[in-house]
Amino acid sequence: MSTHKIVTLCAVSLAAVLGGFAAVASDGPSPAKAVRPPAERVARGEYIVKTSACHDCHTPLKMGPKGPERDMTRMLSGHPAQLAMPPAPALRPDAPWNATISATMTAWSGPWGTSFTANLTPDKETGLGGWTPRNFVETIRNGRHQGRGRPLLPPMPWEVYSNLTDDDLESVFAYLQSIPPVKNRVPQPLPPVLVTAAK
């Protein structure tokens, strides 16, 4: 065997071994490049939604026989459109309390104003039915509606969720697109009420 063939064979073998080590070290393809089958993607998204407190704010509470419980007929549909909220209590900037919450856990008021949790269902007119996966990912990445609109307001912890991979965020979106649509037009946020600090 010629020296040239031996060198070529060694180079090919070394590349194969190093490639194998790299695959083991990275646990296969990166999450951003891996393509999950649709059913697996939806299941992954459901797991993330159920373990990341999405229901805590986006599924309204109602009074049940044992106290407040989630109204799953309105699952992830945000603040109920028919629930007109009175003006939020005015809190001084130096007060030990700086936020108030509706009984449904879907309306929040504080120094940022009053925010209403969004309809995450796939309703085309009032939810995420007209969104694309990219709209959703950019919303979480940038903290802005559809990635470029108004800022997302408290209590939405988008800074935490922005640490999820694109694959995870796209899985969340796939799950949200798979749930029953709920027609529910959530009110727009309200500006803060200015209150003078106590003297």
pLDDT, tens digit (0-9, with 9 covering 90-100), for 52-65: 999 999 999 999 99
Domain count, the chain: 2
Q: Answer yes or no: is 81 within a domain.
A: yes
Same domain for 69 and 105? yes
Among residues 129, 155, 150, the alpha carbon closest in space to that of 139 is found at 150
Q: Answer yes or no: is 192 within a domain.
A: no
Token pair of 122 as six digits: 């796939």
Same domain for 161 and 87? yes
Same domain for 60 and 149? yes
- The whole-model pTM stands at 0.79
Distance in angstroms (rounded) separating the CA atoms of residues 186 and 26: 43
> What was the pLDDT predicted at 36?
74
Among residues 85, 113, 110, 87, the alpha carbon closest in space to that of 100 is found at 110
> What was the pLDDT predicted at 198?
54
Domain that holds residue 19: 1-30
| Tens-binned pLDDT, residue by residue, of the chain (199 aa) | 444 443 343 343 434 433 443 433 334 334 445 667 899 999 999 999 999 999 999 999 999 999 999 999 999 999 999 999 999 888 887 888 889 999 999 999 999 999 999 999 999 999 999 999 999 999 999 999 998 999 999 999 999 999 999 999 999 999 999 999 999 999 999 998 766 555 5
> What was the pLDDT predicted at 110?
93
Helix (H) or strand (E) holding 57: helix 54-58
Same domain for 5 and 55? no
Q: Answer yes or no: is 184 within a domain.
A: no
Token pair of 96 as six digits: 């030990």
Distance in angstroms (rounded) separating the CA atoms of residues 185 and 187: 6
pLDDT, tens digit (0-9, with 9 covering 90-100), for 98-142: 899 999 999 999 999 999 999 999 999 999 999 999 999 999 999
> What's 146's DSSP letter?
G
Residue 69 β-bridge partners: 62
Same domain for 145 and 107? yes
> What was the pLDDT predicted at 196?
58
